[in-house]
Structure 1
């Protein structure tokens, strides 16, 4: 999927949404923007997680295909949604659980590495994650400068087993991050279009 450098205009319904006192966007707007991370053919039937009016992490919509989408976390300053293959759901849920317990990134990484190796945490042999980002216009709620990056999980893959470099490459090129670990993944960051 190629994301054009255009302004994504949301329907008037979403432009007119009202935020709660905790600045939690409406369920409809969360779903609309969460599915932007998924490939177009998977958006309609994707399951969507997001936030209720109190800021609790909840299921906003059940799904019937292989994708799960995450709405933007209203506690984070930068707008970002994600979509991933359903086989990654246990892995992602464990990460959220460990983060909620107070663990930092490296602690979460180490704990999941231990659990995947022990066989107590399911990690698929391959799965896709797409991350959608941009800037939200606070007046119109349009997503400006939309941008998608792709992550292909291949647990315990190495540079030798894939033939990929293990250091960052220019946009448009693939490279392998976290080689040799449970979180080994191919990163592909499409180049941004120039103005």
Structure 2
């Protein structure tokens, strides 16, 4: 032990493979178990099988439903600053994240998050932290409304995404395009934001739209949604669901991904709640947790691009 700290993070100096890593303390039993097997010269496959067996028989605790780890590398042939969010057994459809690798884009300094090992106990989201950007090509302008609405998404999700807007008088949906994947997008609103969501959250958004059409204030809508969630009329936002937000001006974060983690706290998920808003507006943001410990807890993931 080089230093015993007081928060939830444990770090290792640069190892023989060139990586520095930091983990949540909840991962310690598993990492210690793996280290002993490595010392016995077990192969990676043998270690993976041993870990799975130990979890199954209760020797090792079940993995948390979400947890952030951190990895650093000082050469340019690997992603230099990588955050990894574990989401055991999650799928692209459930989370709303592409599985198309962004490794090469991240090495070039403009990568987006993506999912690896979907549907397995090792499922996780790779979140490359791009280097600071002095100027950005991010735009919310497009030649038509449908194309514009899908701009917050990664390229491979845009073509099959649904696009709609709400009738301001009734709160009913007006479909511009019915897509085939899990993403639903709305064109730029009066507030300047363009949003894309997982269709799993559609009932909550439709409920809010109908209240807004009745002239309800934002606070009234928030209270009504909270009440409907408590009484079971609305299902809570699924844990680990991604939303996407785009903004065309430079006084807000221009490209923001938002991961819903209801009830999460810094201690349970391993993410700081120190705001990165100003840094993100300046082109050098990091993810951070907002509304910790509440049903609305979420991780803000600014994209430096």
TM-score w.r.t. structure 2 length?
0.47
- Corresponding position of 1:165: 272
Relative distance call for 1:168 and 1:105 in structure 2 (3 A) is farther
Aligned match of 1:113: 226
1:98 aligns with 2:211: yes
Specify the structure having the higher radius of gyration (Cα): 2
Structure 1, unaligned stretches of length 5 or more?
Answer: 15-28, 136-145
Shift in CA distance, 10/149, structure 1 to aligned 2, threshold 3 Å: closer
Q: For 1:116-150, what per-residue CA distance to the aligned partner results, in whole angstroms no more than 9, with x for missing partners?
A: 23222022122111001115xxxxxxxxxx93111
Match of 2:94 in 1: none
Larger RCO, structure (CA 8 Å, separation 6 or more)? 1
Q: Secondary structure at the match of 1:149?
A: strand
- Counterpart check, 1:81 vs 2:200: no
CA RMSD of aligned residues (A): 3.1
Name the residue aligned to 1:67.
183
Structure 2 counterpart of 1:31, from 140, 146, 149: 146
**Alignment coverage as a number of residue pairs:** 163
TM-score, normalising length from structure 1? 0.70
Where structure 2 has 5 or more consecutive residues not aligned to the other structure, the ranges are 1-111, 113-129
